[in-house]
Chains A and B, each alone.
Chain A
Amino acid sequence: MEKRVTFSKWTIGILFAVPQLFLIFTFFYWPAGQAVYWSLTLQQPWGGGNIWVGLDNFRSILSNASYWDSIAASMIFAGISTGLAMVIALVLAALTDRQLAGSWLYRVVLIWPYGIAAPALALAFRFILAPEAGFMAVVNRAWPGFWDPGLDGADAMASIIIAFSWKYVGYNFIFFLAAFQAIPRSLIEAAAMDGSGVIRRFWDIQFPLITPTIFFLLVINITESFQDSFGIVDIMTAGGPANATNLMVYKIYSDGFKGLDYSGAAAQSIILMLLIIALTIVQFRFIERRVHYR
């Protein structure tokens, strides 16, 4: 006779889901809910009296000119750094995918940068891009005043874009290379036998087949450029000069932690969250239509 404990499907489902649901609620929904609550109050840093102010925090942020500068800076940063990081990684991956002697070396070399922590990376680039030391000093000697990230907002923006894209080139490269390698060799060989060149093969065969990867990386890169850039900004420019690189996420950090304005920072995080959700929806609605899933 067989002895067996039976559960209904429903109970089993719940049992398996409970630990994960618990974690999701503890680490995602509870803090997010807390942020919403904080954004509707004025929090005294040391605790104690919290004053309900409704949407006042949002009103005061959105009527602040420097906040709109910060949104604009974030958009410019996200657009250019994502574009750079993806195009460079795509070209490098396409080149590495071809059967070259020693291509394993390229792969290793290109994957490494992603493993470097943002602060270390930012420190290195701060030195490389310093106007009076390192490489740019040479350029500045040839053209005095060419490079001045300390006072020129465009130069400072370029510095953080370079550092951020450099890091994400490595990350994107891994995905692009994997996507290329998943394309059956026979397809490409057949095309080659039909006499099509490298560029033709890339656009007609490889590119359409990796569009799911491109789409995935686009979403990830844009989201990360809004969220993961603050370490680089903090070390390289601290939001300056004159707020030129005061990205939304950095403003949240400096207002909330350095300025102890928890409520203002919470309201800004809500706005940032809504913006990222909106951007993601736009991408899924309009760009995903062009993606070919196999």
Chain B
Amino acid sequence: MTIIKRGFAALAAGALSTALAVPAFAEPVKFDFWFGLSGDLARVVDTLCKNFNESQKDYEVVCTSQGNYDATLQNTIAAFRAGKQPTVVQVYDVGTATMMLSGAYKPADKLMEENGYKIDYSDYFPGIARYYATSKGEMLSFPFNSSTALMYWNKDAFAKIGKTEAPKTWEDVAADLQALKDAGYDCPMAINISANESWQLMEQFSALHNQPVATKNNGYDGLDARLEVNKTKFVQYVTDLKKWYDAGLVKIKSKDLGQDMVQAFATGTCQLILTSVGDHGTVGRTQKEGMNWDVAELPVYAGTERKNSLVGGASLWVLSGKSDGEYKGAAAFLNFIHDPKTALFWSTNTGYIPVTKSGFDFMKSNGFYDKAPYKGREVAIASLTASEPTDITRGVRLGNFTQIRAEFGTQMQAIFANKVSVQEGLDALVKNGDAILDRFQQTYPGKTLP
């Protein structure tokens, strides 16, 4: 017994002394930052953390990759339930609604205000800020790695069919794909129909055309929102994609099949793809020698008044239940990331875009977008800021959205394998997706989104 007692006493003393030691000896306050990027991108985050630690001596951020976005959220929830959560965590866009109802965070704008940082929130691109803000405009988390979807087109192949510009409408795309096919290209356009492609096929398409994904302004106005993609312009889009697939104009490319669509484009196998600006660097690094390619905004149907595209990526949340010292450190860290110089470092080393106007201007004035490998990335900003966000184009805020995206993948596969018609597949997506939303609403009775 005495041994145990002594152990406890030692532990308590240890805890007490570390708690007291911080102010007394001015050792840096340590706090944890968990993120979901891996590989190349994780190394960039590690450098970012090192830069922050070297920029001042009061705080020390300990950055740990959790492998991917899913795992980061799972691990953070497990840690939170055990009372061992990190101070700052990176959560992907689709986790936003879940985070907002978690009651487990400290609003980022309050944190900054309490610690004396004045952040000009109007500096954020509105399309990015509104994705992470409450309906009243309070920023609950800070955008970190942001992207949007673009069209990548092979200039050499288009030159063969007498085109020097990327198609702007889906009608043009249809004509160009046929021309490319006739010119002997086996794969005019590549798509992927997995769960995550919901982002660019369903969500981006709907935003550009100002079409809702769900009722209640895409879920911003309540947990009782329900899907309605089975009766918007999206039906037309899937019908066309399927028609082009059947005619051999569109090929499905994914890693499971041997080559994903980014590889298929970079090697010159396929001539047109729609994917994140985050892949801009990868295409540049892995492209076939001497291939000419460029990016353009996603096409829209003729006669559409183009709206802003949606932001993708992840934001930084500060979790509740930490000490004042850790919160001070977290605030300093967020302020560091908000700095335009950090934006330049971040965007140079990844494909992500700057999230603030001042960051973008700083990069422009540094000539970033004139240099060879980065040229074209400004199109992403143009696409994100094509219009002032409407009630529908500020984002999609639905509970358990990961499961809804999985349902999207399932139904797209059923449609493309001719198991169901386009309308049947989309009806099933809405029916099963609504059941998921219903379940989320039951889990949080009486709660509303902030």
Contacts and interface: CB of A to CB of B under 8 A. Distances in A.
Interface in A138-158: 149-153
Interface string B72-104: 011001001100000000000000001001111
B257 interface: yes
B258 A258 contact: no
State the main secondary structure of chain A at its contact with B. Answer: loop
Given A137-B258, A150-B256, A42 B413 contact: no
Contact of B257 (A53, A150, A259, A260): A150
State the main secondary structure of chain B at its contact with A. Answer: helix
B416 interface: yes
Contact of B402 (A240, A243, A259): A259
For chain B, the bracket of interface size reads 35 or more
A66 interface: yes
A134 B258 CA distance: 8
Interface string A108-143: 000000000000000000110011111001000000
Given A242-B417, A259-B406, A45 B98 contact: yes
A242 B419 CA distance: 9
A133 B259 contact: yes
B404 to A, nearest CB: 9
A132 B400 contact: no
A97 interface: no
Contacts of A43: 443
B70 A151 contact: no
Nearest to B414: A242
A258 B98 CA distance: 12
Nearest to A137: B258
B410 interface: yes
Given A258-B402, A259-B402, A42 B442 contact: yes
Interface string A257-291: 11111011000000000000000000000000000
A196 interface: no
B403 interface: yes
A42 B416 CA distance: 35
Nearest to A46: B102
B278 interface: no
Given A150-B257, A259-B400, A261-B439, A46 B80 contact: yes
A240 B193 CA distance: 11
A165 interface: no
A60 interface: yes
A47 interface: yes
A240 B256 CA distance: 11
B409 A64 contact: no
Nearest to A240: B413
Contacts of A242: 410-411, 413-414, 417, 419
Contacts of A249: none
A30 B447 CA distance: 32
Contacts, number: 102
Contact of A46 (B104, B256, B406, B410): B104
Nearest to B192: A150
A122 B407 CA distance: 24
A236 interface: yes
Given A42-B442, A46-B80, A258 B403 contact: yes
Contacts of B385: none
A257 B254 contact: no
B77 A46 contact: yes
B29 interface: no
Contacts of B103: 46, 48
Contacts of A239: 406, 410
B435 interface: yes
B444 interface: yes
B178 interface: no
A241 B400 contact: no
Interface string A53-74: 1000000100010100000000
Nearest to B403: A259
Contacts of A238: 194-195, 256
A181 interface: no
Contact of B102 (A42, A45, A150, A264): A45
A236 B402 CA distance: 19
B443 A236 contact: no
B439 A60 contact: yes
B252 interface: yes
B256 A237 contact: yes
Interface string B409-445: 1110110110100000000000010011001001111
Interface string B250-291: 001010111100000000000000000000000000000000
A42 B139 CA distance: 29
Interface in B184-225: 194-195
A260 B439 contact: no
A30 to B, nearest CB: 16
Contacts of B80: 46-47
A255 interface: yes
Contacts of B73: 260
A8 B439 CA distance: 57
A227 interface: no
A230 to B, nearest CB: 14
Given A45-B98, A242-B410, A260-B77, A152 B417 contact: yes
B238 to A, nearest CB: 15
A132 B98 contact: no
A131 to B, nearest CB: 6
Contact of A42 (B406, B435, B443): B443
14 contacts: A44-B102, A47-B80, A60-B439, A127-B258, A131-B257, A131-B258, A132-B259, A133-B259, A151-B417, A237-B256, A239-B406, A240-B413, A241-B413, A258-B406
Lowest 6 A-B CB distances belong to which pairs?
A133-B258, A132-B258, A130-B258, A241-B413, A259-B403, A242-B414
Interface of A: 42-49, 51, 53, 60, 64, 66, 126-127, 130-134, 137, 149-153, 236-243, 254-255, 257-261, 263-264
Given A44-B102, A240-B410, 10 more contacts: A60-B435, A126-B256, A130-B256, A133-B258, A151-B252, A151-B413, A238-B256, A240-B194, A241-B414, A258-B406
